[in-house]
Structure 1
Amino acid sequence: MFTLNCPICAQPLLCDNSHRSWRCDNGHSFDVAKQGYVNLLPVQNKRSKDPGDSKAMVQARAEFLRAKYYQPLADKIAQVVLNGKPQTLLDAGCGEGYYLRELLAQADLRQQSLNCVGLDISKWAVLSAAKQAAATLSASTQEPRVTWLVASNSQIPLPTDSVDTLLCLFGFPVSAEFKRVLKPGGRLIMVDPASEHLLELKQIIYPQVNSKPEQLPVPADTWQLADEQRLTFALEITEREHIQHLLTMTPHLYRASSEGRARAAALEHITVTADMWVRTFVSVD
């Protein structure tokens, strides 16, 4: 189990013997929810009442990923992560936990031990991740494999120099915090959309698709690019419900006009390009 820091005073948090709450020496206490996660995002640190992905977005993503459309990406992430043989890992922006579950399954096959934290600012995402993880525990004596946290990348409640590998998958990197929690020699692994990602869907929902210049997601004076791989594959989606899940789980649902959403809702099948950059960075000392 990871050591956690109090989000209010940054002092170490200790878990009680019942594993039902975390408490620091200053008396700040955080209960473990019945689903197995702990909320370390105090109300004063929230920028909105319900930050992060909505319940609907989380449910749509869970259904879409359960159909294995993004399995090639899950396999690539596991390959890149586990080839580095990390002992500790933080998934910063873990969503509903799909990629972390797939990663742990691959670690089991390789007989590699991995101590993980899954963190997301959306309580709905972490609740879903923790529930699915708890369902895989076949015996009450088994320890949870991941520490699930509602928290922000801007204030990661982990000690300095505490993780070997940090994942940020389609997320929002906070360079200073990422650098702080990574051990010396640790790796930052990021997945970001490439230029053709979901192009066919965007051509349907937008009147015009503008290309944007691609750039690295973290500053070059802080991070050195150690490895870069482009992963491209086709998604053939033949169920209308799955097309709607794909749209709902992305920011495009809110960016598209009502006319664009209506055109997507009328689709019965579509072939879409998945196009991503999988990059590994190391900190510049």
Structure 2
Amino acid sequence: MIFPFPALACPLDGTPLQLHGGAWRCPSGHSFDTASQGYINLLPVQQKRSRDPGDSKEMVAARRRFLEAGFYQPIAAAVAHAALDELPADGQLACLDAGCGEGYYLRQLAAAAGTGQRLAILGLDISKWAVLAAAKQDKRMRWVVGSNANLPVPTASLDRVLCMFGFPVYPEFARVLKPGALLLQVDAGPDHLRELREIIYPSLKPERPAAAHIPAGFAPDGESRVGYAVTIGGRAPLADLLAMTPHLYRASAEGRARAAALDALTLSVDVRLTRLRRLPD
């Protein structure tokens, strides 16, 4: 069973939010409306670095098309397995995707859950366009516009935090996770999309060894790799892939033109799934 994560905190003072009609209010009187599409904007203007932060409407649409085509389904399956691995058949889990995009990985997690398992799910992203797209696709989960730097959830309220190709803020992740809970982090490996990068850049920088840094409050709990080859046929999905990555802005005009001329490309998918266990305080 999937249901919305119920415990939200005020992004301004951290006190609990309670739902009154269509608005969420804290004891201090701060109020946040629920949008007609069902999501909640918990990103106050003073916490924004730009008027419209995060991915644009076009980037969100490109990512949705690419992910729904199944090219990254093995990554989603590995994350879902890691998230549910320790959950009993009749257990309950509170999970946050910190940088949820349009919700693909949370929907895959929900599909993998057993019929007796109860998942309280919260998807958070700084892009209102991403959260809007997620809210339109699945009403069972809670969707929030917010920042990883100031997660609008109470301390020690979560069993899992997902960070998918995102921007980890470890002190905040440590704050919101229960002792013994898991942070599941997915990052690009050295060969990820190598063939595309070789086309759009004049040369590739040598890969730096991954630093063995363990953030404060966590202990390592294993690491695995997801690697496979995928063939992407057609200019449209290749354009979507480029649009959903930072490479769209880092590549030169000539590099983007070379990518746009491709009709098909076989790519290496290479990602690292890191498990970090929250230590007791």
TM-score normalized with structure 2 length: 0.93
Change (3 A) 1:222 1:213: farther
The equivalent of 1:90 in structure 2 is: 96
The equivalent of 1:126 in structure 2 is: 131
1:116 aligns to 2:118 (yes or no)? no
Task: Measure, in 2, the Cα distance between the counterparts of 1:277 and 1:238.
Answer: 25
Change (3 A) 1:218 1:92: farther
Residue 214 of structure 1 deviates from its aligned partner by: 3.3
Match of 1:225 among 198, 208, 220: 220
Residue 54 of structure 1 deviates from its aligned partner by: 1.2
Segments of structure 1 that go 5 or more residues without pairing to the other structure are: 135-144
SS of structure 2 residue aligned to 1:4? coil
The equivalent of 2:171 in structure 1 is: 176
Alignment of 1:188-267 (within 5 A): 188-216=183-211, 219-267=214-262
SS of structure 2 residue aligned to 1:105? helix
Residue 217 of structure 1 deviates from its aligned partner by: 8.2
The equivalent of 2:152 in structure 1 is: 157
The equivalent of 2:28 in structure 1 is: 26
Give CA deviations for 1:20-79 in whole Å, capped at 9, x if unaligned: 210112211111111110000000110111111111111100000111111111111111
Change (3 A) 1:76 1:207: same
CA contact (8 A) 1:235 1:272 kept: yes
Runs of 4+ with deviation above 6 angstroms: none
CA contact (8 A) 2:171 2:216 kept: no
Task: Measure, in 1, the Cα distance between the counterparts of 2:274 and 2:217.
Answer: 15
Task: Measure, in 2, the Cα distance between the counterparts of 1:29 and 1:273.
Answer: 47
The equivalent of 1:139 in structure 2 is: none
Match of 1:5 among 9, 12, 15: 9
Change (3 A) 1:43 1:218: farther
Residue 84 of structure 1 deviates from its aligned partner by: 2.2
CA contact (8 A) 1:173 1:217 kept: no
Change (3 A) 1:33 1:217: farther
User: May I ask how many residue pairs the two structures share in their alignment?
Assistant: 272
Task: Measure, in 1, the Cα distance between the counterparts of 2:269 and 2:191.
Answer: 7
The equivalent of 1:105 in structure 2 is: 111
Residue 208 of structure 1 deviates from its aligned partner by: 0.5
CA contact (8 A) 1:88 1:165 kept: yes
CA contact (8 A) 2:170 2:216 kept: no
SS of structure 1 residue aligned to 2:227? strand
Residue 216 of structure 1 deviates from its aligned partner by: 4.8
219-228 or 230-239: bigger deviation: 219-228
Task: Measure, in 1, the Cα distance between the counterparts of 2:153 and 2:232.
Answer: 40
Change (3 A) 1:151 1:210: same
Match of 1:68 among 52, 67, 70: 70
Give CA deviations for 1:175-199 in whole Å, capped at 9, x if unaligned: 1100000001111000000000000
CA contact (8 A) 1:200 1:273 kept: yes
SS of structure 1 residue aligned to 2:137? helix
Residue 227 of structure 1 deviates from its aligned partner by: 1.1
Task: Measure, in 2, the Cα distance between the counterparts of 1:124 and 1:25.
Answer: 29
Task: Measure, in 2, the Cα distance between the counterparts of 1:5 and 1:220.
Answer: 24
CA contact (8 A) 2:180 2:279 kept: no
The equivalent of 1:37 in structure 2 is: 39
Residue 110 of structure 1 deviates from its aligned partner by: 4.9
Task: Measure, in 1, the Cα distance between the counterparts of 2:212 and 2:164.
Answer: 11
Task: Measure, in 1, the Cα distance between the counterparts of 2:206 and 2:279.
Answer: 30
Cα RMSD (Å): 1.4
Change (3 A) 1:226 1:121: same
Residue 283 of structure 1 deviates from its aligned partner by: 2.7
Give CA deviations for 1:89-143 in whole Å, capped at 9, x if unaligned: 1110101000000100111x45311101100111111000011113xxxxxxxxx
Task: Measure, in 2, the Cα distance between the counterparts of 1:63 and 1:93.
Answer: 18
